[in-house]
Amino acid sequence: MFRHWKGLLAAGLAALVGGTACWARFGETSRLVLRREEVALPAAARPFTIALFSDTHLGRYGDARSLRRVAALIGDQQPDLVVFAGDFFDAYRRDQELLDLDELAAILAEIEAPFGKYAVWGNHDRGGGAHRVYGELMERGGFTLLQNQAVALPDLGLVLGGLDDALLGRPDFSLSLEGEGLRVLVAHEPGPAAEQVPGAHLILSGHTHGGQLGLPLVRDLLLPPGSGSYAKGSYPLGEERSLQVTSGVGVTKVPARLFDPPEVVLLQIVPGQKSPS
C-alpha cells in the first residue's frame, strides 16, 4: 500500500516538474504583458507617459515577430516618450543569419512617440559582435542613441540622459543632467546607476530580466552582475527619486521564464508626492 502511494506521489511530482518546465519554456516566454506604474516626482512639471522596454535579446530565442508585438503594444498606449534600455540582441555574431536588420529597423521605425524615442547600449549590444550594427540599427529605427549624452526636452520639462553600458562599455557616471525640471537617466544596469548618479530624479533600467526564473527565495541569486539589489519594479530612492527596472522582453542563456512574463512598462509620471492608497 505504502509503495503504491509512493509511486503515485513520484508520478505526481514528475508531472508537476515537467508541466512547470514546459510552461516556463513555451508558455511564459510567449506572453507579453503591459505593466503600468504611476511615478510621482516633485521635480516633474507636468504629467506625461513613457513606454519603457528592454532586453529583447533578439536572435536564437527572439525574432522579428516578438519585436512586432512589442511595437504594437507600445503603439496602443500612445506614449509621449519611448525608451529602450538596451540588450537588443542576444549574441549577434552567433545569430546574425537569423536576423534581418532591414526588417527590424522598419519595425522600430513604426513606433511613434511625439517627444521622441531614445535608447542606450546594453552589455549584449557592446559584446558578441553587436557593437558593429546596434547604433546604426537604432538610428535607422528612429531612436536617438544616448551614449553618455543628455538632451533637453523642454516641452516635457525634463533633461534625459543615457549612459554607456556599465559592464562592457565606458559609462560616464559624472554625466551632467543639469537643467530646468526633471532629471531622467537611462542606464542598462540599475546597480551602478542608482549608486553613482545621485542627481537623477528618475532612473530607467533593464538588464536584470527579473531573475528570468523569478522563483521565490532564489530569484535574487539569479540576478546578473550589475543588477545591484534590484530585480524588477519600482524602487523609491529617497523621497524625491525613483528607480524603475523592467524585466524586459526576451531571454538569455536559459530559454525560459517563470513568474516573470515578458513586459512593456507604461510609466505615468505625475508631479508631486504619490497620494497614500
Closest to Fe ion by CB, 80 or 87: 87
Q: Does 125 bind Fe ion (CB under 5 A)?
A: no
Are 32 and 261 spatial neighbours (Cβ–Cβ below 8 Å)? yes
Are 208 and 232 spatial neighbours (Cβ–Cβ below 8 Å)? yes
Strand order in the sheet with 182-186: 149-153, 158-162, 182-186, 202-205, 242-245, 233-236
Hunting for cell 545569430 — which residue is that?
95
Q: Does 189 bind Fe ion (CB under 5 A)?
A: no
Tell me the per-residue interface mask from 45 to 64 with Fe ion, x by CB under 5 A, - otherwise. Answer: ----------x---------
Closest to Fe ion by CB, 66 or 183: 66
Report the alpha-carbon angle 261-264-270, nearest 5.
Answer: 130
Hunting for cell 525613483 — which residue is that?
242
In the bound complex, what is the minimum distance in angstroms from residue 48's beta carbon to Fe ion?
27
* Cβ-closest position to Fe ion: 87
Closest to Fe ion by CB, 87 or 260: 87
3-state SS of 229-275? CCCCEEEECCCCCEEEECCCCCCCCCCCCECCCCEEEEEEEEECCCC
Closest to Fe ion by CB, 158 or 163: 163
Q: Does 87 bind Fe ion (CB under 5 A)?
A: yes
Q: Does 80 bind Fe ion (CB under 5 A)?
A: no
Number of residues in contact with Fe ion under rule CB under 5 A: 2
In the bound complex, what is the minimum distance in angstroms from residue 166's beta carbon to Fe ion?
13
Q: Which of 138, 172, 144 is nearest to 160 (CA)?
A: 144
In the bound complex, what is the minimum distance in angstroms from residue 60's beta carbon to Fe ion?
14
In the bound complex, what is the minimum distance in angstroms from residue 11's beta carbon to Fe ion?
37
Binding site for Fe ion (CB under 5 A): 55, 87
